[in-house]
Structure 1
């Protein structure tokens, strides 16, 4: 293949970018890596659009860069494609949030602890500050699984906020967290002061997905409760950041009578107790009344003067939103109602065909 002078000059420019970014020394520093991939994606995008060098451009660039920098990973054809997609994904989307846009003149201002400019910079007109704070593997998951920019930015924020691993991020995308967040029917607007009401609303989901539970056909509320506690890590992940588990079937006495709350949590950012009640059936208005009573018990017995009012979350198998709104309208304690979904149940005919523990042990003895 005959290489044109223009192509040689462009390759030299890419090489210079590698050197100037000091990518060898900074390869473990995520900010430097993301900035470099942004610049490389921009150069690839612009070069491919402006030239007629054919379909083998990425293959040729990959080969030259790997020959020039054999100790540096990330120059495969596949990764070069990702850098191009990365740049184009966030550049040609006019609806990108303003908070993701930082003018270069702002980037050039030294911070209180710096006497030098920020370099290298992402993009020609704005910097995606948050993008520099999450790993490249997470970015690839987001730009390949999500088409809507607002949804992508939601997961970028959540990844940064919760320090998700790549697997957890993929799990949250698969469970459609974006569509479920803040969708519960609540009375928070008139029972909690702003901005606490907004935070509480966004904390709740609808539906909650408990796909990590394995239940047979005749499961009961207590079975669901037991398994949620057995899988408390996954349960807390589904509830969201900030929940601390206090207890299950939490006992409170009033006069000579005992009451048992299904699940009790404390939400650290909101500084309040959270009562979770499970109902393995559709919502009924009387459920709200009983939960309201439990919230009063917690507020009178556990809540300290400096803490916020206890919040109630009612999880049902189904609900009529209008019925829920009417049921909550005159209740003065903060309550949210959501549905929950379980994993596919194990059919009884399949269950009966599986070997028992005793049968497995007998087979192992014969080996």
Structure 2
């Protein structure tokens, strides 16, 4: 006799198995990464106890590679053993998070290339806390997330990034300038409309949420509200769970104007007075524009403004030098 399985019990068992598999994979990754660290440690110790000359180190790694490959198969090429050695040298100084090696070996291959220890620690913490895939880590590194956050903080707060990662406590903590939208596939010089920009963002919503940062959930596109028989539409509406507030986004393919800022102020006021619940925080409005005049923005908005922001965007992935130039301009 065939019985019908209730959906809830199936889902519970499904979730248990999925979590178990994830834990197994995580444990395997952690064990292998720690093993590679110890292999690197042993190679360095042998070089120091034996002969410090570079020739000895090369011969040591070559001999180890041949023997290990013969017994254990792929994964122990000279290049891989050199990376294990580098891994140990990069992480031999005790670090609170690093000592646990919670990421995969592939993640650490990216992290160990960073000369800036503070940046390396930041990306490691964020990758662990946000469960970044390898692709997501690469994207955040390539889009200079750490450098962009550093520019918006004072010296004391900058140091916190390498110890605690990104802390979201106020509106300014979620704002980036510029936003890097290279994943949209729009050429920097191509002619596209605001509707096209919006459509591409929706099509690549997962990547856009990654660029927005922690705590964002999507609410709607072209969200309409009406008062006094007049209709208005907000390009994109999100909610940030960490700040407990709505985040309204308008897209501008040109330079932001004082009219754009005034319109966003009206959107924010409407949400604060008519939409948000008593226990939710003030609404944030972000105009993501191709260009802006900082003086105009400051003069248009109140001195104590902490709700309305204008940030530039670029549809190309700049190099670090190009990125610094964008900021200076």
Q: What TM-score range do you get, normalising by the shorter chain?
A: 0.7 to 0.9
Matched, 1:303 2:313: no
Match of 2:320 in 1: none
Equivalent pair of 1:183/1:206 in contact (CA under 8 Å): no
Matched, 1:128 2:98: yes
Matched, 1:155 2:123: yes
Matched, 1:139 2:114: no
CA displacement 1:293-347 (0-9 Å, x = unmatched): 1111111222111111111111111223344334334365512221001249xxx
Equivalent pair of 2:171/2:306 in contact (CA under 8 Å): no
Equivalent pair of 1:183/1:205 in contact (CA under 8 Å): no
Matched, 1:260 2:230: no
SS at match of 1:261: strand
Equivalent pair of 2:168/2:243 in contact (CA under 8 Å): no
| CA RMSD of superposed structures (Å) | 2.9
Matched, 1:82 2:55: no
Larger radius of gyration: 1
Deviation at 1:281, TM superposition (A): 1.6
Change (3 A) 1:27 1:43: farther
Matched, 1:237 2:210: yes
Equivalent pair of 2:179/2:311 in contact (CA under 8 Å): yes
Distance in 2, matches of 1:198 and 1:167, equals 27
* Aligned with residue 58 of structure 1, among 61, 86, 92: 61
Deviation at 1:215, TM superposition (A): 4.6
Equivalent pair of 2:26/2:102 in contact (CA under 8 Å): no
Match of 1:334 in 2: 307
CA displacement 1:207-229 (0-9 Å, x = unmatched): 11122334573322222112211
TM norm structure 2: 0.74
Structure 2 runs not aligned, ≥5 long: 1-23, 154-165, 318-329
CA displacement 1:138-162 (0-9 Å, x = unmatched): 0001213x22111111211121122
Matched, 1:40 2:10: no
Distance in 2, matches of 1:139 and 1:267, equals 30
Match of 2:244 in 1: 271
Equivalent pair of 1:42/1:84 in contact (CA under 8 Å): yes
Distance in 2, matches of 1:211 and 1:196, equals 25
SS at match of 1:181: helix
Distance in 1, matches of 2:31 and 2:167, equals 37
Match of 1:204 in 2: 175
CA displacement 1:72-101 (0-9 Å, x = unmatched): x54332221111111111336xxx8xxx34
- What count of residue pairs does the alignment treat as equivalent? 276
Distance in 1, matches of 2:122 and 2:176, equals 14
Higher helix share: 2
Greater displacement, 52-61 / 175-184: 175-184
Alignment of 1:86-125 (within 5 A): 86-91=87-92, 100-101=95-96
Equivalent pair of 1:282/1:318 in contact (CA under 8 Å): yes
TM norm structure 1: 0.67
Greater displacement, 148-157 / 47-56: 47-56
